[in-house]
Structure 1
Amino acid sequence: MAHSNPLLESFNTPFGVPPFAEIKLEHYKPGIEKLIEKSRSEIEVIANQTEAPSFENTIVSLERGGRDLDQAAEVFFNLNSAETSDEMQALANELSPMLTEFSNEIMQNTALFERVKSIYDNQANFTLDKEDQMLLRKTYLGFVRSGANLNEEDKKKYRELSNALAMASLKFGENVLAETNSYELLLQNPDDLKGLPDGAIDAAALAAEEKGHKGMWLFTLQAPSFLPFMEYAENRELREKMYKAYMSKAYKGDDLDNQEKVKEIVRLRFEMAKVLGYNTYADYVLEERMAEKPEKVKDFLNDLLKKAWPKAKEEVEELKAYIKKLGDNIALERWDWAFYSQKLKNEKYQLDDEMLRPYFQMEKAVDGIFEVAKKLYGLTFKKNNNIPVYHKDVQAYEVLDESGKHISVFYADFFPRAGKRGGAWMTSYRGQWKTDTDHRPVVSIVCNFTPPTASKPSLLTYNEVETLFHEFGHALHGMLADGKYNSLSGTSVYWDFVELPSQILENWLMEKECLDLFASHYQTGESIPEDLIEKIKASSNYHEAYQTLRQLSFGLMDMAWHSLTEENIEISDVASFEQDAMKQTELFKPIPGTCMSTQFSHIFQGGYAAGYYSYKWAEVLDADAFSVFKSKGLFDHTTAKSFRDNILSKGGSEHPMELYKRFRGQEPTVDALLERSGLK
């Protein structure tokens, strides 16, 4: 008897979440192949029906179709990021082109596009609300931007380019993950640990023991290991070694090198934009963004650069003077920055990461963020062990609103492991939409926080708590979605708007009223002292200009890669191209053998191509929006309700600027950001 495939059946689980334990590697390929066939016949029915094209029988049918396929693909690709293996990565290389090919087949189906176009051209004849209009616009543009208007030869070319692009991005990410996982700094001499906090030493001893090196200490390029090392290790040679290892990921001329991949991805993107009639890939991307045009993005970044540069220069000079004052006879290099910056911060504000850690036990910080969500939006998070998870470290929660109604399932996955890519992200296993019933979302956040050790629970740095708040802000955007259509709900918004819900939540972390909810000493239970909160506030702009320049350098480099035209698309050297793009932001001279582009997963693997500027763009929005909470009250019910109703629940159902103005009463200005960053 043939075994059944869980991907082809309804998920018989609490809230219909994926039955992770039942889904085996061998289920994905046959399951996805079958679901592609099923979706293909659904598309044929829509495209070839005899009824005249209407919004319902074409646009809505298209929106509702292929749901099972989407679900299976979501499970697979989410796990390929959070819990992968060599076998899974090999499978991704088979499935990715298959799905891209099928998506292209739909988007270039002539009969289908003719129906969509006829509705789009005659929309005045249909009764459509704003959400319907947005779905129609997005559907029509989706076809056009995927080559539906092209002749047969160009359609074929577009298909080939997008297939090649999917494969190249996948390989880029695999190389970065392999490089991150393979580097080990194994120390035997206790003197080499000088300056490092106990927590970092314990974690390194544990890591070494797990690899069979008992009595030694192992440091890696995973953030919880790398960052404390760069901030506290007194051994300068080792800091240099770690820094260079980190900054040379996928840039060593070996089989994990990404230089040719970068060139290939950039060229493929350019070719794709050209086929579709755009000047550059950035022009193509920004058509569907708040920023609209590459010139506007570059002006925005350069304007901030002008404002931040003098202050950043001052910050570097101050650190050089401080090093001199300490009597350390060195020229300040990049691998010294975090170390001396932390030391000076401690001296200026009597504050460093290690003083705050005991007050940020991870479980309490999670309870704290839940409490914030309750005070703002009336949500309750109930841990539910009956909800299947994909790894023993993952916690599953049921989310309820103030009336006890089910809102969402929420997964939290916090610690690093070999099968998980670096960084932190929010994702979903199911979106939200409405038919006769309201289909509620399944949302997840994945992070790489400091794990517990034998002697201590997981104690987070302030930055890690900030990351938790950030990703949870994205999660709220997903969980509170309240739209008719999945493709417009939750985080399905313009890319330069998507960081507003995440970044605004970070602001609460600076406020006593919020910290008092959860920041208490993990041993004594005493609340975080008032003077520490004052120090957090006072030091909040510490080296802000330097950090701003770093963000701007990535934004400018991203725009440079994606603004290439026919004349200059042939790049001979990745590192010198990158240095050229970033030079006006550089406070240090470039270090031979290092390169950011070859490991910059955000733009070469994730969705931030020609979009990295959106972090800064959204900072303008979040500072401006938070100023309302500041003046009305941190947990003011009316303000929170307005933010939920106009922004969080609306997703991409209307143009983001319209939503923003409805909440704020006006367009945002850069003033609140400059003030908050101390750059005014």
Structure 2
Amino acid sequence: MREFLLLGVSLAALCATPVLAQVAKANAAAVATLAPDVRALLAEWTGPYGGVPAFDKVKVSAFEPALDEAIRENLAEVDAIADNPAPPTFDNTIAAQERAGKALNRVMTIYGVWSSTENNADFQAVQTRMDPKIAAAQDKISQNPKLFARVDAIYKARDTLGLSAEQKQLVWIYWVGMVKNGAQLTPEAKARVTAINQELAGLYAQFSQNLLADEDGYVLYLKAGDLAGLPQSLRESAAQTAEAKGHKGEWGIQNTRSSMDPFLTYSDRRDLREKVWRTFYARGDNRDAHDNTLKVIPRILQLRAEKAKLMGFSNYAAWKLQDEMAKTPDAAMALMLRVWPAATARVHQEVADMQAVADQEHANIKIAPWDYRYYAEKVRKAKYDVDMNQVKPYLQLDNIRRAMFWTAGKMYGFTFTKVDGLPVYDADMVTYEVKDRAGKHVGFWYFDPYARAGKNSGAWMSDYRPQQKLDSAIPAIVSNNTNFVKPPPGKPVLISWDDAVTMFHEFGHALHGLNSNVTYPSLASPSQAQDFVEFPSQLNENWLPTREVLEQFAVNAEGQPIPPALVGKLLASQKFNTGFEVTEYLSAAIIDMKLHTAPQGPGVPPIDPDAFEKAELAKLDMPSEMVMRHRTPQFQHIFAGDGYAAGYYSYLWAEVLDHDAFEAFLEAGGPYDPKMAQRLHDDIMQVGYSVDPAVAFRNFRGRDPKVDAYLRAKGFPVEAAGTAAAGGQ
């Protein structure tokens, strides 16, 4: 199913019956009475290859009336499908839903873009009002008794209807989606679930807005004497930040990960490192107007637990994982706890190495969380003779983008050609047409590279339109979004190695969407079980450190390629600091699962997020020299929406698949082995959700996944070779 509502595409193809024709006629008449700005949001996309989003026509004031009308249209379409007097068939019930809701999907796509990239005060006011309405509409569809009766009848008879395997999978997705969202509940329980979902939608918006306020509202301004240790590229970007915020002649460190990470890595000023660290990890936790800990998180957890119990599950995690690859919280937790001891043992080794360096320098300190990145970089230099500041000049943003395109060409035969004239929502956005080996149009790729006020921090992929070929061939439109500081004119953007890895990761999501080759939009990549959807993106990270990429695209501003000796040192250091990386992530994933399996309900006090986090990490013997990658008050993955709630484990689950799959390439003939690339395309990338994820991986690898390759990639001991880790049935 697509994001937002259960339903997918267009009413135009539904008008074969009089009742649906009447709905279409009524909808058209209603739209004709609306203001031009509202009609622009509702209108079919125009332009090449099925049209493109009309970003240049968007006005925030139009979102609310456009959403109201699109929701009304979609509900009318659903009622027409549910009330159809003809016996339920795949075409008049399942395929009909795939064809419905086109206007809503268009508006929701742009609404989602604005919520993550153009989120100003005016939009936030709209979001606060509309998110509960959107949640209510979702429930009205998923809990529609007449619609579910039709879907249920088809589901029960699916093996006797002559359906294709793809059609059977789509029937299952609709059925399990409606059941999971309360279709079988009593009317009273349905009403309560609807009320819960509306309240949650408001809380999610509040959480996100609080976090954005803490990120946008604080900048550490530095004087010239505060810059010791900072590389020139970081100084330049910090100067740009300060000037943009009216502090010309100073240097600004923003309260975002992309600013925090490099500052903590290179600043010689321990007092300033501590200040930046404490400010960053206190986001959403300052007991002020933007606090997430006192009311927002506890209430979200209470409502989720209540919803799960209404659905017949002991906790929210059990409800959430019922249709994922892991199936149960115990299975997800078992994998995490298998890796945890090896990860924390490595952290203790890393800290000992760092402490030794600090002692040699007579720093007279004990390694603290704000020291970890700084001294880890010193250890990297000492152990591997590689200074990431020496690497960074060879990591130009434009060249890394070119490297991504090149690997996509090697693996999937794609070419990317820049196109001008497509509507964009920011002047710095760039757009590319994607074609396959035969020169056929595959889709469009949009890139939004720079940070700005109102844009979420971090990096992500957006799916503007899924591929489908239900009534005609509709190509995909995808985007990648990053938050680099815009450079002065004529200057390249230099990025860190971690940033380059992140770019390959998010581009992997985009490639998943561009490779999709299914009939029905709800099955298109990257729609997947959540603990599988990160697999193609994490797999794509493996092509960045290949010599083929580094020798061609790691080039400095003078056009000189990275020296082979430096490449060798960089590759030799790939297992460095894995204790920190895995423990930082895994601690957050474990706390996510514990929060969503903790007792909730009458007689149980609301969870205090800070106290819970502290107590549970103590039980795990969390190393004191570091913290979770996302502390609970700023854990946007799990509290700014349902997305990764009780699902943050999925990055580890998918990474097990990723390393196992990449070893298949190495066993076959190398990272770019053409036969393995074809199998990856055929068995994983093109099938979307038309094939069960466990079956898809088994088709590719010839067996269920094993954890061994993941452990080897991290430099951890392989304790039980051959043990299946994920996805077995």
TM-score (normalised: structure 1): 0.97
1:285 to 282, 297, 320: 320
Deviation at 1:309, TM superposition (A): 2.7
**For 1:39 and 1:405, how far apart are their aligned partners in 2?**
33
**For 2:489 and 2:97, how far apart are their aligned partners in 1?**
53
Deviation at 1:112, TM superposition (A): 1.1
Q: Which residue of 2 aligns with 1:3?
A: 36
Deviation at 1:449, TM superposition (A): 2.6
For residues 352-371 of structure 1, the aligned pairs below 5 Å read 352-371=387-406
User: Which moved further from structure 2: 154-163 or 144-153?
Assistant: 144-153
For residues 585-604 of structure 1, the aligned pairs below 5 Å read 585-588=621-624, 596-604=631-639
2:73 to 35, 38, 50: 38
Q: Is the 8 A contact 1:14 1:386 kept in 2?
A: no
For residues 392-411 of structure 1, the aligned pairs below 5 Å read 392-411=427-446
For residues 607-622 of structure 1, the aligned pairs below 5 Å read 607-622=643-658
The aligned amino acid for 1:641 is: Q
Q: Is the 8 A contact 2:302 2:600 kept in 1?
A: no
Call closer, same or farther: CA 1:569–1:321 in 2, change over 3 Å: farther
Q: Is the 8 A contact 2:353 2:379 kept in 1?
A: no
Q: Is the 8 A contact 2:369 2:626 kept in 1?
A: no
Q: Which residue of 2 aligns with 1:670?
A: 707
For residues 336-375 of structure 1, the aligned pairs below 5 Å read 336-375=371-410
Deviation at 1:174, TM superposition (A): 0.7
Q: Which residue of 2 aligns with 1:49?
A: 84
**For 1:595 and 1:363, how far apart are their aligned partners in 2?**
29
User: Which moved further from structure 2: 561-570 or 108-117?
Assistant: 561-570
Q: Which residue of 1 aligns with 2:665?
A: 629
Deviation at 1:117, TM superposition (A): 1.1
Q: Which residue of 1 aligns with 2:365?
A: 330
**For 2:518 and 2:161, how far apart are their aligned partners in 1?**
20
Q: Is the 8 A contact 1:251 1:595 kept in 2?
A: no
Q: Which residue of 1 aligns with 2:8?
A: none
**For 2:354 and 2:239, how far apart are their aligned partners in 1?**
32
Q: Is the 8 A contact 1:248 1:595 kept in 2?
A: no
**For 1:271 and 1:495, how far apart are their aligned partners in 2?**
22
The aligned amino acid for 2:565 is: D
Q: Does 1:647 align with 2:704?
A: no
Deviation at 1:506, TM superposition (A): 0.9
For residues 394-433 of structure 1, the aligned pairs below 5 Å read 394-433=429-468
Q: Which residue of 2 aligns with 1:570?
A: 605
Q: Is the 8 A contact 2:584 2:626 kept in 1?
A: no
**For 1:547 and 1:362, how far apart are their aligned partners in 2?**
23
Deviation at 1:450, TM superposition (A): 4.5
Deviation at 1:7, TM superposition (A): 2.0
SS of the residue corresponding to residue 295 of structure 1 reads helix
* Sequence identity (%): 36
2:337 to 299, 302, 306: 302
Call closer, same or farther: CA 1:231–1:321 in 2, change over 3 Å: same
Runs of 4 or more consecutive aligned structure 1 residues displaced over 4 Å after TM superposition? none
Q: Which residue of 2 aligns with 1:223?
A: 257
SS of the residue corresponding to residue 598 of structure 2 reads coil
The aligned amino acid for 1:57 is: N
Show CA shifts across 1:163-220 (max 9, x none): 11111111101100110111111123x2211111111112222222222222222211
SS of the residue corresponding to residue 300 of structure 1 reads helix
How many residue pairs get aligned? The number is: 677
Show CA shifts across 1:265-305 (max 9, x none): 11111111111111100001111111111111111111111
**For 2:253 and 2:81, how far apart are their aligned partners in 1?**
56
**For 2:48 and 2:218, how far apart are their aligned partners in 1?**
40
**For 2:516 and 2:500, how far apart are their aligned partners in 1?**
24
**For 2:246 and 2:182, how far apart are their aligned partners in 1?**
54
Structure 1 gaps of 5+ residues are: none
Show CA shifts across 1:640-668 (max 9, x none): 11101110111111111100011111111
SS of the residue corresponding to residue 479 of structure 2 reads strand
2:268 to 231, 234, 246: 234
**For 2:439 and 2:210, how far apart are their aligned partners in 1?**
46
The aligned amino acid for 2:409 is: K
**For 1:408 and 1:226, how far apart are their aligned partners in 2?**
35
Q: Which residue of 1 aligns with 2:24?
A: none
**For 1:353 and 1:186, how far apart are their aligned partners in 2?**
25
Q: Which residue of 1 aligns with 2:469?
A: 434
1:581 to 613, 616, 630: 616
**For 1:411 and 1:642, how far apart are their aligned partners in 2?**
27
Q: Let me know the Cα RMSD of the aligned residues.
A: 1.8
The aligned amino acid for 1:664 is: R
Deviation at 1:451, TM superposition (A): 3.2
Show CA shifts across 1:313-371 (max 9, x none): 11112211221112110111100111111112122222222111111111111111101
TM-score (normalised: structure 2): 0.90
Q: Does 1:212 align with 2:246?
A: yes
**For 2:477 and 2:62, how far apart are their aligned partners in 1?**
21
Q: Is the 8 A contact 1:571 1:577 kept in 2?
A: no
Show CA shifts across 1:548-594 (max 9, x none): 11111011100011102346853352211011222215111789xx9
The aligned amino acid for 2:244 is: E
**For 2:36 and 2:705, how far apart are their aligned partners in 1?**
57
Deviation at 1:454, TM superposition (A): 5.4
Q: Does 1:560 align with 2:597?
A: no
Q: Does 1:658 align with 2:692?
A: no
SS of the residue corresponding to residue 450 of structure 2 reads coil
Call closer, same or farther: CA 1:455–1:12 in 2, change over 3 Å: closer
Call closer, same or farther: CA 1:108–1:472 in 2, change over 3 Å: same
Call closer, same or farther: CA 1:455–1:564 in 2, change over 3 Å: same
Q: Which residue of 1 aligns with 2:196?
A: 161
Deviation at 1:37, TM superposition (A): 2.0
Q: Does 1:475 align with 2:516?
A: no
Q: Is the 8 A contact 1:204 1:219 kept in 2?
A: yes
**For 1:590 and 1:115, how far apart are their aligned partners in 2?**
53
Q: Does 1:549 align with 2:583?
A: yes
Q: Which residue of 1 aligns with 2:95?
A: 60
User: Which moved further from structure 2: 345-354 or 254-263?
Assistant: 345-354
1:96 to 131, 134, 140: 131
Q: Is the 8 A contact 1:623 1:676 kept in 2?
A: yes
Q: Is the 8 A contact 2:241 2:485 kept in 1?
A: no
Q: Which residue of 2 aligns with 1:248?
A: 282
User: Which moved further from structure 2: 554-563 or 208-217?
Assistant: 208-217
For residues 447-458 of structure 1, the aligned pairs below 5 Å read 447-453=482-488, 456-458=491-493
**For 2:384 and 2:406, how far apart are their aligned partners in 1?**
29
SS of the residue corresponding to residue 291 of structure 1 reads coil
For residues 175-194 of structure 1, the aligned pairs below 5 Å read 175-188=210-223, 190-194=224-228
SS of the residue corresponding to residue 417 of structure 2 reads strand
Show CA shifts across 1:79-106 (max 9, x none): 2101221111111112211111111111
1:118 to 153, 156, 161: 153
**For 2:253 and 2:489, how far apart are their aligned partners in 1?**
17
Q: Is the 8 A contact 1:168 1:265 kept in 2?
A: yes
The aligned amino acid for 2:47 is: T
Q: Does 1:105 align with 2:121?
A: no
Deviation at 1:516, TM superposition (A): 2.1
Structure 2 gaps of 5+ residues are: 1-32, 718-729
**For 2:225 and 2:382, how far apart are their aligned partners in 1?**
24
Q: Which residue of 1 aligns with 2:232?
A: 198
The aligned amino acid for 2:703 is: Q
SS of the residue corresponding to residue 52 of structure 1 reads coil
Q: Is the 8 A contact 1:359 1:521 kept in 2?
A: yes
Q: Is the 8 A contact 1:134 1:654 kept in 2?
A: yes
The aligned amino acid for 2:616 is: A
